[in-house]
Amino acid sequence: MKYPQEQFKKLTEALPVLLNFFGVPNEQAKELTIGQLHEIHFKIYQQKNYSGDNNPNVKFIDGKRLFEIDRDFKLYPEGCNDDNIETAMKTAIKQVYGS
């Protein structure tokens, strides 16, 4: 997989939290469309901590961030394209929810 391993680790940590936040049942995670996979990747990217808690895209529950994503998380990691992101998302879903 061309997607960077360190970022993939962050992706697999954030994925179930974000899907739960948006009410996606575990059994439906494997049925997400390509567009939905890219949208979720983008939502994870939006959680980056640029300026404390002033980012309007950051999601909170009970005043706490859903998860922390540092500034190193890239929307398009170096050398990656849409196909690589799609592969990473599908692999993360399999790893988190089983095959």
Query: For all residues of the chain together, what is the average pLDDT?
Result: 89
pLDDT below 70 — which residues of the chain? Answer: 49-55
- pTM value is 0.88
pLDDT in tens, 37-56: 999 999 999 888 665 556 67
DSSP string, the chain: --S-HHHHHHHHHHHHHHHHHTT--GGGGGG--HHHHHHHHHHHHHTB-SSTT--TT--EETTEES--B-TT--SS-TT--HHHHHHHHHHHHHHHH--
pLDDT given for residue 5 in this prediction = 96
